[in-house]
Chain A
Amino acid sequence: MQFTSKIMTGLAALAASTSLTLATPALADKASNTLNVAFAAEPEPLDTYKIAGRQGLILARHIYDGLLYKNLDTGEIVPALAESWEFTGPLTMEFTLREGVKFHNGADFTADDVVATLNTVIAPEYGTRYSISVDWIESVEKLDDYKVRINMAKPFAGAIEMLADALPIYPHAFFTENGSAGMAATPIGTGPYKLVAQEPGIRYEMERFEDHYAGSPKSGATIDKIVVRTIPEMNTQFAELMSGSLDWIWRIPPDQADRLEGRVQIVSAPIMRIGYVGFAPEAMAGDTPIANKLVRQALIHATNRGAIVDAFAGGASKVLNTPCNPAQFGCAQDVTSYEYDPEKAKALLAEAGYPDGFEMEMVFSAMPRPTAEAVAADLAKVGVKLVLNEQQYSAGIGKWRAKELPAFFSNWGSYGIGDTAFILSNFFGGGADDLVQDEKLAAWLTEADTASDRDVRAENYEMAVKRIADEAYWMPMYNFNVNYGLSNDLDFTPHPDEFARWWASSWK
């Protein structure tokens, strides 16, 4: 398949470049001011609170708005549906709402919408996909038509991040009557685009919303219409992009991106997602070589991560030394690093009592097979035999949580959020995914996750990140990048949170 892909890209490129005279050129979409987009995976039903995949979330963010918005270029939280906000107590926040905002169905946006939406989605029976996104809200009260108070159930440092476009506000009358299924069937928001037609999972058509409120962080959209289709086969997407019937595709494998370069616009951008090998000192009740710190350090020294990144990730990816993305708040970079040094690795293994190495299982999920094989090949050189096992993420993480795996090679996206809180707490905070169970770490992380003072948070995260590196609990691999394939006419800026902002795109 890989080989054929290469032939295919080459042939298609050849065809595209030599056949201009033969084919009737497709109508440039710049002319009709329509952006044609393809995803390989089907978007989920458009109720943001139930969506896990990026495709559905991207569409949803064009249709709905949150109370706040994060400007990723400056790192600043800016007003959206809320004009201003303040902490009125350790567990209460008050928001002054913007007046004059209209929903796509003509309804006026008021405090009722905020109260009805949030109070509905925090109820466990609503089934919000990620409980972490809403379980910090105790209740929401209406103070007057344009003022609401959020009562927090617990201190949560990610609260503001969550309110920044991850928790959209629905029109209360429609939402109360029709529920989640109704929102998915007829999405109505205040966003810069309104959905005018959809075949769920297959095709979506959005039009610019002319009454989008002034002062919105998503204002200034210039493209009239956006058509999104699902085309599962990447090669078919390439063919459509080159023939002009698509303007925007993404997640192009690095080798394919190289081949498309020059024929279409290829943009590579780093994202929050990072690849890692997690070590589990707790696995098999601690009865594995991985429980030994020297062994863990040896394994990192033995892996030529630089070569792996260059060969298989490419683009904007870099080797990491931290269990978080350097672009995230709290991810201090001044930590112990383990350079590639097989001799040192052998010495460490001998010191740990494994001069002849050992054998251990490593499951890899949602990582390219060649990267896992490269790790195994490097470790084999110092005598450690990895038994590789590729599994679906659900099977892999299930085995991890059952403490049956000494090593797990996968990746984590932090929900696209620029804060280390999520990844560190998930894997080192003492929960089900934490197979380190380091009490010091858990205490620092609890402090960092709940403090409202940014300096206190940064300080505690730094201690945690340093300790994880010192103890070699993880072998961080690299930050992911995404390759976008764009029409030569399109001006599009990618963001590290993987949320495409088509409202900010335009034609050159």
Chain B
Amino acid sequence: MLSFLSKRLLVALLVCVTVSALSFGLMFLSGDPAIAIAGSGGRAEDAEAIRVAYGFDRPLVIQYLDWIGSALTGDLGQSIYFNVPVTEIIGNRVGVTLTLGFISFLVALVIAVPLGIAAALRPNGWIDRIALVIAVSGQAIPSFWLGLMAIVVFGVWYGMVPISGAETWQGYILPVVVLSYYAIPELMRITRSGMIDVLATDYVRAAKAKGLPMHLVISRHALRNAVLPLVSLAAVQLGQLLSGSIVIESVFALNGLGRLAWESLLRSDLPVVQAIILILSLLYVVLTTLADILNAVLDPRLRGAS
């Protein structure tokens, strides 16, 4: 178990370093940041002054080492746009993203897993059909469209919820519905297919044959085995919900990390973009590593495998 853990952590660390170096380099491909910061009215002299002021005139490698060095001490630099420490801005915005991401994740799990189990118990039954419709539509409908339609119907038409912003808890209702709707299909389908496979195994048949009630067969024997791929997928999904809500945050004017990343990219606020990429990639790495560990705990077979 110990060697399994250390291997996983080493891989995780390498992924973090690679992502941070790549993202740092990529930012400079989209044009000269000094000119971007000077804005469209900026003259060449303004851009030059900015280049020197922010140290963009130094070699890229030096800039990267400088940045990663301070990042390790918890200093992510100053936002060029807001002129305050990056950690402060991210601290202000991370709450919205975490709230939105976790609630949507829980809602998605609570709906997807039971629905997936019910669908697996009677494949091609009516629950399965309804689940299929939800899955297909959830995959096919773009989230920005669904978000706008939800605004029209529930915000403008019926006036039941605020149209945008998160000044009250009601502001989270539509974004959570839309975001979780987008996460449900995959979670549900993998629960369903896992359950169908497991339900066809000999040990489940044996459990049924010895007269165990169906709910115990499911919870004690079937689900525990079917849940393994679900855990891996859920970790990735949670990562996506936390990092990929840019569209939802824009549509509903929620000021989370996703939107901050997008806007910072547009205004070439490099320190903020780099910090967010670093944080989100760390988050992914932590989540997938946790999922691997959780799976190893759940399934002794995995511990020796890797």
User: In the complex where A12-B156, A243-B156, A366-B40 touch, is A4 in contact with B144 (Cβ < 8 A)?
Assistant: yes
**Contact A22–B158 (Cβ < 8 Å):** yes
CB distance from B144 to the nearest CB of A (A): 7
Partner of A236 from B31, B43, B92, B253 at Cβ < 8 Å: B253
Interface centre among B30, B39, B250, by most chain A C-beta atoms within 10 angstroms, is: B39
Q: Knowing that A130-B43, A392-B36, A413-B41 are A-B contacts, what are 18 other residue pairs whose CB atoms are under 8 Å apart, sorted by A's residue number?
A: A1-B144, A12-B156, A44-B82, A45-B81, A124-B49, A129-B46, A131-B43, A200-B84, A232-B250, A236-B148, A239-B151, A245-B163, A393-B35, A393-B36, A393-B40, A394-B36, A396-B31, A397-B35
Interface centre among B40, B45, B81, B153, by most chain A C-beta atoms within 10 angstroms, is: B40
Chain B residues 72-123 with CB under 8 Å of chain A are 81-84, 92
Q: Which residue of chain A has its CB nearest to the CB of B79?
A: A45
By a beta-carbon cutoff of 8 Å, the part of chain B in contact with chain A is 30-33, 35-46, 49, 53, 81-84, 92, 144-145, 148-149, 151-153, 155-159, 163-165, 250-253, 255, 259, 263, 268
Partner of B44 from A22, A24, A230, A433 at Cβ < 8 Å: A433
User: In the complex where A130-B41, A394-B31 touch, is A15 in contact with B153 (Cβ < 8 A)?
Assistant: yes
**Contact A52–B42 (Cβ < 8 Å):** yes
**Contact B40–A412 (Cβ < 8 Å):** yes
Q: Which residue of chain B has its CB nearest to the CB of A273?
A: B40
CB distance from A12 to the nearest CB of B (A): 5
**Contact B159–A23 (Cβ < 8 Å):** yes
Chain A residues 37-55 with CB under 8 Å of chain B are 41-42, 44-45, 47, 50, 52-53
Q: In the complex the two chains form, what is the Cα distance from A23 to B53 in whole Å?
A: 54
**Contact A243–B43 (Cβ < 8 Å):** no
Residues of B within 8 A of A180 (CB): 83
User: In the complex where A394-B33, A397-B35, A398-B32 touch, is A11 in contact with B83 (Cβ < 8 A)?
Assistant: no
- A-B pairs under 8 A by CB, number: 156
Residues of B within 8 A of A127 (CB): 49, 53
Partner of B155 from A1, A233, A239, A394 at Cβ < 8 Å: A239
**Contact B152–A233 (Cβ < 8 Å):** no
Residues of B within 8 A of A16 (CB): 156
Q: Which residue of chain A has its CB nearest to the CB of B153?
A: A15
User: In the complex where A230-B253, A433-B43 touch, is A239 in contact with B263 (Cβ < 8 A)?
Assistant: no
A-B CB contact pairs (8 Å), 29 listed = A4-B144, A11-B149, A15-B152, A19-B156, A19-B158, A42-B263, A45-B81, A50-B83, A129-B39, A129-B42, A130-B41, A132-B43, A200-B82, A202-B255, A233-B144, A236-B148, A236-B252, A239-B148, A239-B151, A239-B163, A242-B156, A243-B155, A393-B36, A401-B44, A415-B41, A431-B45, A432-B43, A432-B44, A432-B45
Residues of A within 8 A of B145 (CB): 4
**Contact A184–B83 (Cβ < 8 Å):** yes
A231 at the interface (CB under 8 A from B): yes
CB distance from B177 to the nearest CB of A (A): 16
Residues of A within 8 A of B49 (CB): 124, 127, 131
User: In the complex where A22-B157, A236-B164, A401-B44 touch, is A12 in contact with B152 (Cβ < 8 A)?
Assistant: yes
Q: Which residue of chain B has its CB nearest to the CB of A22?
A: B158
Q: In the complex the two chains form, what is the Cα distance from A181 to B39 in whole Å?
A: 20
Task: Tell me the interface secondary structure of chain B in the complex.
Answer: helix
CB distance from A168 to the nearest CB of B (A): 17
Q: In the complex the two chains form, what is the Cα distance from A184 to B79 in whole Å?
A: 14
**Contact A236–B268 (Cβ < 8 Å):** no
**Contact B84–A15 (Cβ < 8 Å):** no
**Contact A15–B253 (Cβ < 8 Å):** no
Partner of A239 from B53, B152, B250, B259 at Cβ < 8 Å: B152
Q: In the complex the two chains form, what is the Cα distance from A184 to B88 in whole Å?
A: 15
- Chain A positions 239 through 274: 1 when the CB is less than 8 Å from some CB of chain B, otherwise 0: 110110100000000000000000000000000000
Partner of A231 from B36, B149, B152, B164 at Cβ < 8 Å: B164
Residues of A within 8 A of B37 (CB): 52
Residues of A within 8 A of B40 (CB): 366, 393, 397, 410-413
Residues of A within 8 A of B82 (CB): 44-45, 200-201
User: In the complex where A201-B82, A243-B156, A243-B163 touch, is A232 in contact with B259 (Cβ < 8 A)?
Assistant: yes
A288 at the interface (CB under 8 A from B): no
CB distance from B183 to the nearest CB of A (A): 21
Q: Which residue of chain B has its CB nearest to the CB of A50?
A: B83
User: In the complex where A392-B30, A392-B36 touch, is A431 in contact with B44 (Cβ < 8 A)?
Assistant: yes
Q: In the complex the two chains form, what is the Cα distance from A243 to B157 in whole Å?
A: 9
Q: In the complex the two chains form, what is the Cα distance from A50 to B42 in whole Å?
A: 12
**Contact B263–A395 (Cβ < 8 Å):** no
**Contact B152–A131 (Cβ < 8 Å):** no
**Contact A129–B43 (Cβ < 8 Å):** no
Residues of B within 8 A of A433 (CB): 43-44
User: In the complex where A41-B263, A201-B255, A398-B35 touch, is A131 in contact with B45 (Cβ < 8 A)?
Assistant: yes
Residues of B within 8 A of A130 (CB): 41-43, 46
Residues of A within 8 A of B32 (CB): 394-395, 398
CB distance from A160 to the nearest CB of B (A): 19
Q: In the complex the two chains form, what is the Cα distance from A199 to B95 in whole Å?
A: 14
Q: In the complex the two chains form, what is the Cα distance from A44 to B82 in whole Å?
A: 6
Chain A residues 402-424 with CB under 8 Å of chain B are 410-415
Residues of B within 8 A of A181 (CB): 83-84
CB distance from B118 to the nearest CB of A (A): 34
Residues of A within 8 A of B251 (CB): 233, 235-236
Interface centre among B30, B38, B83, by most chain A C-beta atoms within 10 angstroms, is: B83
**Contact B159–A243 (Cβ < 8 Å):** yes
Chain A to chain B: the 8 pairs with minimum beta-carbon distance, closest first = A395-B31, A432-B44, A394-B36, A23-B159, A52-B39, A394-B31, A394-B35, A231-B253
